[in-house]
Amino acid sequence: MKVVVVHNRYRSTSPSGEDRVVDQEQSALEAAGHQVVRFERRSDDIAALGSVRKAMVAANVVWNPGPARDLEALLTTDRPDVVHIHNVFPLLSPSVLLACQRSGVPSVVTLHNFNLVCAAGNLYREGAICRACVGRHFPAPGVAHGCYRGSSLSTIPRAVSIAAHRNLWQSAPSAYIFLSEAQRRELLPAGLPPSRSFVKPNLVQPARRRQAKAEAIVYLGRLTEEKGLRVLMDGWRRYGEATPDPRLRLVIAGTGPMESEIRDWARELSSVDLVGLLDRAACGDLVANAAAVVVPSVWPEPFGLVVAEAMAAGVPPIATAHGAFPELIADGRDGILFPPGDPGALGRVLRRIDADPGWTETLGQAAYDTYVRRFAPPGNVAELERIYRYAVLHPGSAAVNVPASRRSRSAT
């Protein structure tokens, strides 16, 4: 197949798992013999815009006709079999859905977050899960609370986009990919057609395998409240206080709003290293030398890429028992689940790991087996191909301009 991948890349100073997913998926598709054409915008480019164009970015969040015209021209010239849309915020906008319709090319949308029902995209506000806007035509509570970047003004374009384009999101795509069943349930109020909805976890490329007798507990990700860093800090403190001669070390890699707070905390503890933002190779080395990877998120993550990446290295994940994690992890078999927001439970998990080093080795082998079965390229690409074939054979609103000969060829 020929696939056009549509994606707005995140800022390089705030790396996103979505960017990694898009890149890894492209590599796997090409390795399987498919032709992939990228149609991208980069959030880094906003900094170079003139003052007038910068001021227009907020309006373009709601509707940006420029990328739609460019995408339509590409589709007319290249005539792909399917368009795969990932992130459209902030420089692409839902206008790309209309471009696919006009070009008669079926589109598949991967939903990476909760943007269709939540202006912040994460169902989290002021230290707790929040569904105040879910099911509303206009997410007024999100505006009132300034849920995007703590600003009502910044939240308005996202809220307007949710309300203005609900029908377009419901009708234009030929297929939707949810990353977990938990995410699909949360997005039911968005009204996306169940008959065109698929649950497929993210694809993860093979990783460097775990080294024996590792003693590091690793956190990788943004240093933000919803990621559960305060739960992690409190759980680590409880582990240290209850363990006579603690042997584990905590390594925190990433950057974000809580960096100063975590740095001040880490200075008081010889068992904690804050190593900052690392490149992908360094992250891989860090995980390969870990006893476990901890994902203490207090928001209901729709997937949790770090979990699958840890499994690819044969490293067991420790994660909260909500969101997608109970679907990804078989507790006590290929990873460990603990109640969300419970530092005492996390401390107890850490004490068991400290007392029984062989436990994480056993869990890690099972975690790798889970990776091969669920997240490795061969099986994951086969699932993606099945969804593409469905979209080609059931193009829905994009059907009018698609030549029947091309539809039948692509479905084989």
For the chain, give every domain's residue range.
Answer: 2-203+377-410, 216-374
Same fold, 2-203+377-410 and 216-374: yes
Architecture of the domain made up of 216-374: 3-Layer(aba) Sandwich (3.40)
> SS3 letters for the chain?
CEEEEEEEECCCCCCCHHHHHHHHHHHHHHHCCCEEEEEEEEHHHHHHCCHHHHHHHHHHHHCCHHHHHHHHHHHHHHCCCEEEECCCCCCCCCHHHHHHHHHCCCEEEEECCCCCCCCCCCCEECCEECCCCCCCCCCHHHHHHCCCCCCHHHHHHHHHHHHHCHHHHHHCCCEEEECCHHHHHHCHHHCCCHHHEEECCCCCCCCCCCCCCCCEEEEECCCCHHHCHHHHHHHHHHHHHHCCCCCCEEEEECCCCCHHHHHHHHHCCCCEEEEECCCHHHHHHHHHCEEEEEECCCCCCCCCHHHHHHHHCCCCEEEECCCCHHHHCCECCCEEEECCCCHHHHHHHHHHHHHCHHHHHHHHHHHHHHHHHHCCHHHHHHHHHHHHHHHHHCCHHHHHHCCHHHHHHHCC
Tens digit of each residue's pLDDT, the chain (412 residues) = 999 999 999 998 887 899 999 999 999 999 999 999 999 999 999 999 998 898 899 999 999 999 999 999 999 999 999 999 999 999 999 999 999 999 999 999 999 999 999 999 999 999 999 999 999 999 999 999 999 999 999 999 999 999 999 999 999 999 999 999 999 999 999 999 999 999 999 999 999 999 777 899 999 999 999 999 999 999 999 999 999 999 999 999 999 999 999 999 999 999 999 999 999 999 999 999 999 999 999 999 999 999 999 999 999 999 999 999 999 999 999 999 999 999 999 999 999 999 999 999 999 999 999 999 999 999 999 999 999 999 999 997 654 444 433 333 334 3
Q: Which amino acid is at 151?
A: S
The residues pairing with 120 across neighbouring beta strands, listed in sequence order, are none
Q: Are strands 175-178 and 249-253 parallel, antiparallel or unpaired?
A: unpaired
2-203+377-410 sits in which CATH class?
alpha beta
Full-prediction pTM beyond 0.85? Answer: yes
Q: Which residue(s) pair with 9 in the sheet?
A: 42
